[in-house]
Chain A
Amino acid sequence: MPQASPQPNNGVTEVRVGLASCGMAAGASQVNDYLRDALAEHNIPLKSVGCIGMCHAEPLVEIVSGDGESFMYGKVTPERAKTIVTEHVLGGKPVEDWLVMGCQATAGDYVKRQTRIVLRNCGHIDPENIDDYIAAGGYEALAKALAMTPEQVIEQVTKAGLRGRGGAGFPTGLKWHLTRIVPGDVKYVICNADEGDPGAFMDRSVLESDPHSVLEGMIIGSYAIGARQGFMYVRAEYPVAVRRLRHAIEQARERGFLGKNILGSGHDFDISIREGAGAFVCGEETALMMSIEGRRGMPTPRPPYPSEKGLWEKPSSINNVETFANVPYILSKGAEVFASIGTAKSKGTKVFALAGNVVKGGLVEVPMGTTLREIIFDIGGGIRDGRELKAIQTGGPSGGCIPASLADTPIDYDSLAQAGSIMGSGGLLVMDDRTCMVDVARFFIAFSVEESCGKCTFCRVGTRQMSEILERITHGQGTPEDLVKLEDIAIKVKQGSLCGLGQTAPNPVLTTLRNYREEYEAHVNEKRCPTLKCAALITYTIDADACTGCTLCARNCPVNAITGEVRKPHLIDQSLCIKCGMCQQVCKFNAVTVS
């Protein structure tokens, strides 16, 4: 890390590059390499930070001025970085065209409209530098907690109204209390970092951008319940997070935040990392514990609950990454401050991974009670390509599809449940009017089929049968009886499954059946996909009048189904066509129609 220059150049005190997985995937490492060399010449400090959440604009480079003003550049390439260094860093003149935040850049609303508790340090501090975390107030909450009795700590968390952010919303204070009161010398604190919903990356970002906040939450939790050993169960598919966590744990040990007699309190606690092999079901707490024990990750019946008999049959408290990240905030700011945010029953904020047909996708953290519409339109900038909002899927494959008519639903545990979905861990998928809801249900069920652990009958066979029926329907082979059967199976799988995976897997089916039944009926009765998505039910044709014979479609067709002479109308051989839609995408004359 370069030494900070005593004489800030043109007022620029620091340049930050977002180096979380998302940024790196977009090319931030190359930008970082360029800037390291370029800025070194001028003695301007360059800081690697985590993710600020503006995934739609990665890679991001932030220029911080001496007066505290911040300029955020989006979609930075090494070339653009060169210009930014020349004009802004050295020349003092922001390159306004590329700014996403600062000056007049409206994109800044994306962050400004959020309330950041969990993501408070993300994108601001260097996740690999414990001093950065400490400078931002890190580990103060731990010191404060260790000065209290464990019961007082639990009382604070209870008063704050913090509920589990993994999706089920169980009150964290109560969970800690229940674990504390079970007699026994050996207890465990477990952090569930097995984020498995497709499209969800809240936990990964926090672990990559601010690992100490999670560790601090765990240490406080261990003190509260009386545990001396903690486990961080994290997906092996998150190598950056694992690396940074390892590093953070070592640093925390060096500083005495982990280990024997933490901060002289007499409390001992240490954390081991366990890497999961990527089974979705291992996000289920009982399966996760089996996996830590080195056994096949399979849910076990509850009771007994982990608080009574958890890991190795010992009392265990298991919380999600985001839940732990909230804890230091509660302890340092006070339960009342936290409880003042959110709704009556859902306190604080929630982080969402906003994705789908939305203009600006990424990580957003909003107070509980914010409406879906506010998230999508005010933060996310509305629907892409000027389309209509059709549905919102929350909670990933476990959640339901909320129709656009319910877009004003406030996000909190109870309202989302009422709308037929769940809070889940924070996936928020926006779907526009071109989305086929039957296909959406098919997609999510296909995921559940793959990820079911296979242990219980309903989940193992029921998801598979739903999948087969949905395949039939989207292939135009469904019958009205299939719809009856589908709904019956969905209800029974929900009622009969052993764990949360099976109990929620039918949600996409049930909510789409409830809210979009006419689409199902069109597929079944008329063999028609109203949104023209289901390949088996649509036909691509070339309008001979509009076709100029440019041959572009024929050259792009992956199966050579299009023939025609230059400057003469082309023809699609329907027997060969795989309905990939490539011809329509490449046609410059709107000559390819789908029906």
Chain B
Amino acid sequence: MATCSLTINGVGIEVDADKTILEAAASAGIDIPAFCYDPRLKPFGACRMCLVDVAGARGPIAACSTPVKTGMVITTNTEVIEGLRKTALEFMLAEHHGDCLGPCQMACPASIDIQGFIALIANGQNAASLELIKQQMPFPASVGRVCPHFCESDCRRNVVDEPVGIMRLHRYVADIDLASDKPFVPQTAAPTGKSVGIIGGGPAGLTAAYYLGILGHSVTIYEAYPELGGMLRYAIPEYRLPKAVLDQEIATITAVCAEVRCNTKLGKDITLDELKAKHDAVIIAVGAGASQMIGVEGERLEGNYGGLEFLAQYAAGKGPAIGRRVAVVGGGNTAIDCARTAIRLGADEVTIVYRRSRSEMPANPEEIEGAEEEGVRFRFLANPIECGCTLEGGHMAQMTCVEMALGEPDASGRRRPQPVPGSEFLMDVDTVIWATGQTLDPVGLDNIEKTRWGFLKADTAGRTSEANVFATADCVSGPTTVVEAVGAAHKTVVLVDQYLHGAKVELPAEPYNHTKGILENINKAEYADREKIARIDPQMREGHERAGDFGEIDPGYIMEQAIAESARCLSCGCQEVHDCLLRKYATEYRVEQPPTLRLEPLPIAADHELVIRDNNKCILCGSCVRICSEIQGASALGLTARGFKVIVAPTLGKPLAESPCESCRQCISACPTGALTAVVPFAKPGPFKLTQTATVCPECSVGCSINAGTYAGQLMAVNAPLEAEVNGGNLCKYGALLVSRLAKLDRVESPMVRVDGALQPATWEHAMSVAASALAKARESGSVKDNIAVYVSPRSTTEETDLAVRFASQTLRGAATVGLTAGAEAMLAQAGDNATFRALGTSDFSLSLGADLADDYPVAATWVRVAVADGGRFASVGSRQAKLDRIALPAVITGQGRLGLTLRALAGYAAAADGAVKHAGEHLGAAVAAEIAKEFTGFDLDNACAQAGVEMTTLASIVDGLRSAQHPVIAVGGEDVGPADAKYVAWLAALTGAGVLRLTRLGNAAGLHAAGVGVAANTAALAAAQSFGSGMDEGGFGGVAIAATNGAGSKPFVVAVAPYLSVALRQEAEVILPGSTLFETEGTLTNAEGRTQSVARALTPVGGRDTAAVLCDLSTRLGHALKRSPSAVAGSSS
């Protein structure tokens, strides 16, 4: 290959001359953004993101489609180019209509993946749900009781009916966790050797401690109060958050901390300077816990309390003394908490005095209602001006108030209250609680610079005026809510971690988050088709009843309620949010969401059982349309209309399910955004950040490389890596269906033993001993060879197969193994040169024999299409019509049972050529050459053609095509070519110099064959094992079955190591031991090329051990120690 030298961004590089600018840049490690580029497809040039500057060109050049030339001077990042890219992104986003993240998560100050944790609840994965929450929120049980739930206010479900009960769902999984034997404590990273001192053990301090601890830092918390929790403990009353819950939850946090020192007050017990010296970093998280009075005369008299002081005294068990008539001044949640506490402490009359009206109250509406139900009274539009104006026996007796009127809105948007002159009135009160604001307690913080409101000053990196001292949450921002403090502290953790690692201290850029807009602007019609389902709110105790004690008011959800409520989630956030290229580049180019051009959202099409199409997120890169026609040959999707109205739609305007769609989901793999997404076989789809494990598809002998995307023990997605050698990023309908097939399997989770005809769960010990004694007996009872057989699924790894073969021969002392079909075995038994799938893709003449490539081995068909698009020729010979016949020249259809005649005629025609037999002999050996010569001595070609019903010219066209091609490839289907005819295929290949791909629907047939697994059904046991095993294997996830008989006619005793319950297992098996699927084990598979490929463990076996482990154990119990087979060398071609 000739090369070109050129310059990209000032760096000279040398690349192959057939590369495009985009590919050249990629090879130099320079990323040129592109949406419509896909290495599987021809350049399209639609998205215009890949424009680059080429010196001397008339304008910007599309890198995806322009070939390199020597001497090119390319710049990928000029101001003009970056401006164009940004504008292109803004254009695409102006057409975009959707939410990257659910509005709930966007509204959550702690950025909890709400959609994700709700989906996990809906999918029955409570533990995973809790872990997901804990990535952002350390005390969900507590916050799940007291949060102002901004999420619910923004929930799109408001448009349909009522918001999802997010807060209670959050609490639900946390309560389950705390009630469990071992509440979740995260793994911490290896110790970093750095220490952090955190001043304040409230929400912010605990959050910082938790996440810094997880990161491996040594954390010490200094808390002034006797116990941790801060506001959660001392400001939130027991009836809202039981202390027991709080204590339990704090224990899961302190589990990752080095030290907790309570009763340690800054400025009294310790000084900032000491901490600065002792720790690598210090975080001030003291909150704003001092009550702020409003400066009314008499407010310091006895009988007056600050709101927080009042609540804290109660929480600390120093029950504050109250009178009979209590006034609580203020309108926030603290005022409500004080009032409801006062009621519970036995006050006759509790009145909240608030200077604005009810609608301006900052407290949660349900809190206000709760207070009202418990008898709290309200005096709106009133403000105290003097306290204790009459003293009765030294006690306060009255408070003077003035009536207020609402004037013009102030900076907060609320109307400013103003006193009405001459409206003063007296209230009879003996206790006044001032819930009128909170402020910083500045003790010990003299050296820290303050804001003009008296809070701590911190820069954008979270640092105070003192070196290595950070400050976070309320002591910086002023009083907020618990969830806001958690969010703030979590950000500080990122900064402190950077600081401790000596990195640049700055918050990472916020990712671009597209939104459909605020709730008021949502087009109701868009949600008109959503079913209305009433929100579930648990039954509370009656107001008068609960006002008498401090028992918890809200019982939370029970399981049925939680599952039903989680089902109400609309899953607004985009399924592709983690992988979306549009979002990635919008973030990189710092794009702001432009005004939408999509005034009428397009309907989301769910017109296919596997694909969801959302044209509102389509950027018209055309990749789906192109991959469907160019690679898949289906043309199920097309572009319709013109200009701005263009959309991708199924052909002929029908639903996708009625189009020629082959369900391969290649369109989804090509989609750079969330316009095409997969239907997943779970109640809620997530999205989740998947763990990708590189492995191999077990479905057929093509052996496609796949990435298994897993989350919380589930296979969620299967993708093909673009760089994969065998399949080049292509995947077919079988691979695409793995996820749902696996999800729908009836997994064997524990051993089972048949008792009185019915399968019963059993312990490993019991099941193993039943199996072992039965097999041992069979082993002793006569001819093992005839009486015991082991079936190995062709979806087993080569190592499992080898182990099973040794189990049969050694442990069982001479049992046979089965697992292949006769056709596959005969085909694999033939010698000859293997071709590769890549060779099929570049072949100038390829021939399909006895296979419907497009239907049975779609990725092989993909390579044929690629070859044909590049000018190659393809021919097909089969007993029945095949999909790929459309592009076959010629396509020969022999009719059922007559394929062999044509194969023989083809071989005979090929053998007649000069030197062909000699040539074949060089490949297959002299003996085969002699066999060929013998077979075709006196061969009557005319007669053979007549018998086969094929024209001689057709044969000639195929054989001459193979012979004259540079890279001829034959793809043969093992199931269709009969055992007797397999040799003709091998002969034809050797006679014409073609490479062969031996295809079978049995994933590891080549591995089984190499391990000596056969097909011969010459004993009753073999027949039983074969028939039972193939019944067991119909789900396609393998296993090993051992059938022991007393000879012909007797019912076999079957022991199966199986990953799932098949019909055969249910009916026949005596003992079932849980086994592993190919996603739960490791080893190798050998594909039709003869390539040995690694299978990696992506999931833990459901039963706890994989098939090999079970076999080893069983073998030991049968008195023979078997070791696992060593892994075959991966990646080599045999």
When the two chains form their complex, are residues A455 and B46 in contact, meaning their CB atoms are under 8 A apart?
yes
The 0/1 profile, CB within 8 Å of A marked 1, for residues 80-98 of chain B is 1001100110011011000
When the two chains form their complex, are residues A460 and B644 in contact, meaning their CB atoms are under 8 A apart?
yes
Interface membership of B504, Cβ < 8 A: no
Residue with the greatest number of chain B CB neighbours at <10 A, chosen from A303, A450, A453, A495 = A495
Q: Which of A2-10, A95-103, A372-380, A461-469 contacts B (4 or more CB under 8 A)?
A: A461-469
CB proximity to A under 8 Å, residues B11-70: 43-49, 51, 59-60, 62, 64-67
Q: How many Å lie between the Cα of A33 and that of B642 in the bound state?
A: 42
The 0/1 profile, CB within 8 Å of B marked 1, for residues 422-457 of chain A is 000000000000000000000000000111111111
Interface membership of B638, Cβ < 8 A: yes
| B85 to A, closest residue via Cβ | A496
Q: How far is the CB of B595 from chain A (nearest CB, A)?
A: 9
Across-interface contacts of A463 in B (CB, < 8 A): 643
CB proximity to B under 8 Å, residues A43-97: none
Interface membership of B620, Cβ < 8 A: yes
| With contact pairs A492-B84, A496-B88, A498-B46 given, residues A454 and B597 touching in the complex (Cβ less than 8 Å) | no
Residue with the greatest number of chain B CB neighbours at <10 A, chosen from A296, A454, A462, A465 = A454
When the two chains form their complex, are residues A454 and B639 in contact, meaning their CB atoms are under 8 A apart?
yes
Residue with the greatest number of chain B CB neighbours at <10 A, chosen from A298, A457, A492, A503 = A457
Interface membership of A329, Cβ < 8 A: no
When the two chains form their complex, are residues B643 and A454 in contact, meaning their CB atoms are under 8 A apart?
yes
When the two chains form their complex, are residues B88 and A454 in contact, meaning their CB atoms are under 8 A apart?
no
Across-interface contacts of A454 in B (CB, < 8 A): 620, 639, 641-646
Interface membership of A300, Cβ < 8 A: yes
24 A-B contact pairs sorted by A residue (CB < 8 Å)? A296-B639, A301-B43, A301-B66, A303-B65, A449-B643, A452-B642, A452-B643, A454-B642, A454-B645, A455-B620, A455-B622, A456-B46, A457-B88, A457-B619, A457-B620, A460-B620, A460-B644, A461-B94, A461-B597, A465-B94, A465-B597, A495-B59, A496-B88, A498-B48
The 0/1 profile, CB within 8 Å of A marked 1, for residues 114-145 of chain B is 00000000000000000000000000000000
When the two chains form their complex, are residues B644 and A458 in contact, meaning their CB atoms are under 8 A apart?
no
When the two chains form their complex, are residues A492 and B87 in contact, meaning their CB atoms are under 8 A apart?
yes
Across-interface contacts of A205 in B (CB, < 8 A): none
When the two chains form their complex, are residues A450 and B642 in contact, meaning their CB atoms are under 8 A apart?
yes
Interface size, B (range)? 35 or more
Q: How many Å lie between the Cα of A492 and that of B59 in the bound state?
A: 11
When the two chains form their complex, are residues A453 and B642 in contact, meaning their CB atoms are under 8 A apart?
yes
When the two chains form their complex, are residues B597 and A303 in contact, meaning their CB atoms are under 8 A apart?
no
Across-interface contacts of A492 in B (CB, < 8 A): 83-84, 87
When the two chains form their complex, are residues A451 and B642 in contact, meaning their CB atoms are under 8 A apart?
yes
Q: How many Å lie between the Cα of A453 and that of B84 in the bound state?
A: 20
Interface membership of A497, Cβ < 8 A: yes
Q: How many Å lie between the Cα of A300 and that of B642 in the bound state?
A: 16
Across-interface contacts of A464 in B (CB, < 8 A): 597, 643-644
Interface membership of A391, Cβ < 8 A: no
Q: Chain B residues in contact with chain A, CB under 8 A?
A: 43-49, 51, 59-60, 62, 64-67, 80, 83-84, 87-88, 91-92, 94-95, 597, 619-620, 622, 638-639, 641-646
When the two chains form their complex, are residues A498 and B62 in contact, meaning their CB atoms are under 8 A apart?
yes
Across-interface contacts of A451 in B (CB, < 8 A): 642-643
| With contact pairs A455-B622, A457-B88, A495-B60 given, residues A279 and B95 touching in the complex (Cβ less than 8 Å) | no
Across-interface contacts of A461 in B (CB, < 8 A): 91-92, 94-95, 597, 644
When the two chains form their complex, are residues B91 and A457 in contact, meaning their CB atoms are under 8 A apart?
yes
Q: How many Å lie between the Cα of A503 and that of B62 in the bound state?
A: 14
Q: How many Å lie between the Cα of A492 and that of B87 in the bound state?
A: 8
When the two chains form their complex, are residues B48 and A497 in contact, meaning their CB atoms are under 8 A apart?
yes
When the two chains form their complex, are residues A496 and B87 in contact, meaning their CB atoms are under 8 A apart?
yes
The 4 A-B pairs at the shortest CB distance, nearest first, are namely A454-B646, A301-B45, A461-B91, A301-B65
Q: Chain A residues in contact with chain B, CB under 8 A?
A: 279, 296, 298, 300-301, 303, 449-458, 460-465, 468, 488-489, 492, 495-498, 503
Q: How far is the CB of A221 from chain B (nearest CB, A)?
A: 26
Q: How many Å lie between the Cα of A454 and that of B621 in the bound state?
A: 10
Q: Interface on chain A toward B: helix, strand, loop, or mixed SS?
A: helix
Q: How many Å lie between the Cα of A449 and that of B643 in the bound state?
A: 6
| With contact pairs A455-B46, A461-B95, A496-B51 given, residues A279 and B84 touching in the complex (Cβ less than 8 Å) | no
Across-interface contacts of B94 in A (CB, < 8 A): 461, 465
When the two chains form their complex, are residues A296 and B638 in contact, meaning their CB atoms are under 8 A apart?
yes
Q: How many Å lie between the Cα of A279 and that of B646 in the bound state?
A: 14
| B59 to A, closest residue via Cβ | A495
Q: How many Å lie between the Cα of A455 and that of B641 in the bound state?
A: 11
When the two chains form their complex, are residues B87 and A453 in contact, meaning their CB atoms are under 8 A apart?
no
Q: How many Å lie between the Cα of A458 and that of B88 in the bound state?
A: 6
When the two chains form their complex, are residues B91 and A458 in contact, meaning their CB atoms are under 8 A apart?
yes
| A461 to B, closest residue via Cβ | B91
| With contact pairs A458-B88, A462-B91 given, residues A452 and B644 touching in the complex (Cβ less than 8 Å) | yes
Residue with the greatest number of chain A CB neighbours at <10 A, chosen from B49, B84, B92 = B84
| B60 to A, closest residue via Cβ | A495
| With contact pairs A456-B46, A457-B92 given, residues A489 and B62 touching in the complex (Cβ less than 8 Å) | no
Across-interface contacts of A298 in B (CB, < 8 A): 639
Query: In the complex, given contacts A460-B620, A462-B91, A497-B48, what are 17 additional A-B residue pairs having Cβ atoms less than 8 angstroms apart?
Result: A279-B642, A301-B43, A301-B44, A301-B66, A452-B642, A452-B643, A454-B642, A454-B644, A457-B47, A457-B49, A457-B88, A461-B94, A463-B643, A464-B643, A495-B51, A495-B84, A498-B45
Q: How many Å lie between the Cα of A465 and that of B597 in the bound state?
A: 8
Q: How far is the CB of B582 from chain A (nearest CB, A)?
A: 11
| With contact pairs A458-B91, A496-B51, A496-B88 given, residues A301 and B643 touching in the complex (Cβ less than 8 Å) | no
Q: How many Å lie between the Cα of A503 and that of B91 in the bound state?
A: 16
Across-interface contacts of A301 in B (CB, < 8 A): 43-45, 62, 64-66
Q: How many Å lie between the Cα of A455 and that of B620 in the bound state?
A: 7
When the two chains form their complex, are residues A460 and B88 in contact, meaning their CB atoms are under 8 A apart?
no
Across-interface contacts of A296 in B (CB, < 8 A): 638-639
Q: How far is the CB of A168 from chain B (nearest CB, A)?
A: 12
| B629 to A, closest residue via Cβ | A295
| A454 to B, closest residue via Cβ | B646
Across-interface contacts of B645 in A (CB, < 8 A): 454
When the two chains form their complex, are residues A457 and B46 in contact, meaning their CB atoms are under 8 A apart?
yes
Across-interface contacts of A455 in B (CB, < 8 A): 46, 620, 622, 639, 646
Q: How far is the CB of A38 from chain B (nearest CB, A)?
A: 49
Across-interface contacts of B639 in A (CB, < 8 A): 296, 298, 454-455
Q: How far is the CB of A340 from chain B (nearest CB, A)?
A: 31
Across-interface contacts of A488 in B (CB, < 8 A): 87
